[in-house]
Amino acid sequence: MAKKYEINTWFERDRSFVELTKNGKSILEFWDNDVTELIEAGFINPKNYLRSMIDYARYLGLIDRISREI
């Protein structure tokens, strides 16, 4: 089965959620202040959540750095 990365986001009032999944399984997720802090630090790009979360997961060693498949 090929890797299929997806992003899930949810924003409402003072709540926020961003999650990276692969084949339906969570790889990385952030809530509330963590989302805000990661955006401000430049780790998450709100214009491209998918690419930036994949890059951050690679940086953390959670997914293979060599694979370029999305």
Q: Is 23 left (phi over 0), alpha (psi -120 to 50) or beta?
A: left
Give the tens place of pLDDT for each residue, 21-44. Answer: 998 899 999 999 999 999 999 999
Which pLDDT band holds residue 47 (cuts at 50, 70, 90)?
Answer: very high
Q: How much is the pTM?
A: 0.84
Average pLDDT over residues 2-29: 92
At 41 the pLDDT is 96
